[in-house]
Amino acid sequence: MPAITHHTPDALLAAYAAGSLPQAYALVVAAHISLCLECRAGYEAHLAGGGAVLDAVAAEAVSEGLKSSVLDLLDAPVAVEPTYRRDGVYPGPVMEALKGKPPSWKSLGLGVRQSILSSDREGSARLLYIPPGQAVPDHSHNGLELTLVLQGSFSDDTGRFAVGDLEVASQDLEHAPTADPGAPCICLAATDAPLRFTSLVPRLLQPLFRI
């Protein structure tokens, strides 16, 4: 894998370690950490820091009833969810979201396809397939968009993003990401609000495609 040059910001790593990221963003960060040794080390450092804080907190007395309830829960049977490993270009966290199955691609036109992995009030996560040379329609953002490259690469006004690179797009960025020559670009993208498309046709199709 080429060297990763675009990393998860430290604030997102800290939020992920604390368990406070929305599901869609947490999926992207988990996938990036699985590919990036530098960000994995940063994540583990945040976990260690959180553990040190807990060790320094004074113990609180609890009632005997609460203690018994907790012990009963520990004795109860627990359903263990399957853990999926990397499959092809898809990291383990993505395979977990796919439940071990191939993506269910839906056409967005001009060869671009998407597979929605999750969608709720806090945001959505999806896989995008973009043929070489094809651009995503020019757009800006109503919130935060995280885009992790899993195959190929894309470029926009901010630079080039290859396998393992993470683009963090805020409301200030307007761009038209274009897949570079070579392999089709496959990305994992998460948003917490609908995109703002510049052209009329993408805006009209937006509710249908749930972007």
E strand spans, 138-184: 139-141, 145-151, 154-156, 159-161, 166-169, 178-179
Q: What is the mean pLDDT of each run of 10 residues along the chain (211 residues)?
A: 89 96 96 96 90 53 61 53 83 96 94 95 95 92 94 96 96 92 97 83 69 74
Q: 23: number of CA atoms within 13 Å, CB side?
A: 13
* 160: DSSP letter: E
Would you state the pLDDT for residue 101?
95
Would you state the pLDDT for residue 54?
45
Would you state the pLDDT for residue 76?
56
Find the angle CA(129)-CA(153)-CA(127) to the nearest 5 degrees. 30
The two three-digit tokens of residue 159, written as one number? 């630079």
Sequence-distant (6+) residues with CB within 8 A of 166 are: 6, 7, 8, 28, 32, 146, 147, 148, 149
The two three-digit tokens of residue 91, written as one number? 């990291």
Would you state the pLDDT for residue 64?
63
Radius of gyration, alpha carbons of the chain:
20
Coil, helix or strand at residue 28: helix
Would you state the pLDDT for residue 89?
96
The number of helices, as runs of H, and strands, as runs of E, in the chain is 6, 11
Spell out the domains of the chain, with CATH numbers in brackets. Answer: 103-209 (2.60.120.10)
Q: By the 8 A CB rule, do 107 and 113 touch?
A: yes
Do strands 166-169 and 145-151 pair parallel, antiparallel, or not at all (unpaired)? antiparallel
Q: Where does the chain have alpha helices with state H?
A: 10-18, 23-35, 37-56, 64-75, 92-98, 200-209
The two three-digit tokens of residue 21, written as one number? 């990221």
Would you state the pLDDT for residue 1?
61
